[in-house]
Amino acid sequence: MKELSLNILDISKNSVKAGATLTEILLDETDSVLTLTIRDNGCGMKKEMVASVTDPFTTTRTTRSVGMGIPLLKLAAEMTGGSFEIKSKHESEYPDNHGTVVTAVFNKNHIDFTPLGDIPSSITTLIQGSPDTDFLFKHTLTSGQVGVDTRELRKTLGDVPLDTFEVILWIEEYLKEQYEALK
Amino acid sequence: MTVNDLLKVEGFSSVVLCEADREIQGVYIGDLLSWVMGRAKSGDAWITIMSNVNTLAVATLADTSCIILAEGVSLDEGVKETAQAKGINVISTPLSSYSAALKLYSVLKL
> pLDDT tens across A24-39, in order?
999 999 999 999 999 9
- For residue A32, what is the enclosing H or E element? none
8 Å CB contact between B101 and B29: yes
Mean pLDDT of chain A: 93
8 Å CB contact between A36 and A69: no
CA distance A16 to A160: 21
Name every chain B residue with its beta carbon within 8 A of the beta carbon of A112: none
Sheet of strand B26-29, all strands in order from the earlier edge strand to the far edge: B13-16, B90-92, B66-69, B44-48, B26-29
CA distance A145 to B27: 46
Kindly indicate the confidence band of residue A61, based on its pLDDT and cuts at 50, 70 and 90: very low
Share of chain A above pLDDT 90, in %: 85
| Nearest-by-Cβ selection for A75 from B54, B61, B82 | B54
Q: Domain extents for chain A?
A: 4-182
Kindly indicate the confidence band of residue A60, based on its pLDDT and cuts at 50, 70 and 90: very low
Specify the range with the lowest mean pLDDT, choosing from A49-53, A84-88, B18-22.
A49-53
Name every chain A residue with its beta carbon within 8 A of the beta carbon of B32: 1-2
Share of chain A above pLDDT 70, in %: 95
Kindly indicate the confidence band of residue A90, based on its pLDDT and cuts at 50, 70 and 90: very high
| CATH 3.30.565 correct for A4-182 | yes
Domain count, chain B: 1
The predicted pLDDT at position A57 comes to: 83
The predicted pLDDT at position A56 comes to: 85
Kindly indicate the confidence band of residue A63, based on its pLDDT and cuts at 50, 70 and 90: low
B34 touching A, CB under 8 A? yes
Question: Residue B27: which CATH number?
Answer: 3.40.1390.20
How many Å from the N-terminal Cα to the C-terminal Cα in chain B?
9
Range of the domain at B84: 3-108
Among A139, A109, A107, A97, residue whose Cα is nearest residue A122: A139
Q: What is the mean pLDDT of residues A117-136?
A: 96
Kindly indicate the confidence band of residue A55, based on its pLDDT and cuts at 50, 70 and 90: confident
Regions of chain B where pLDDT drops below 70:
110
Torsions phi, psi for B46 (to 5 deg): -105, 115
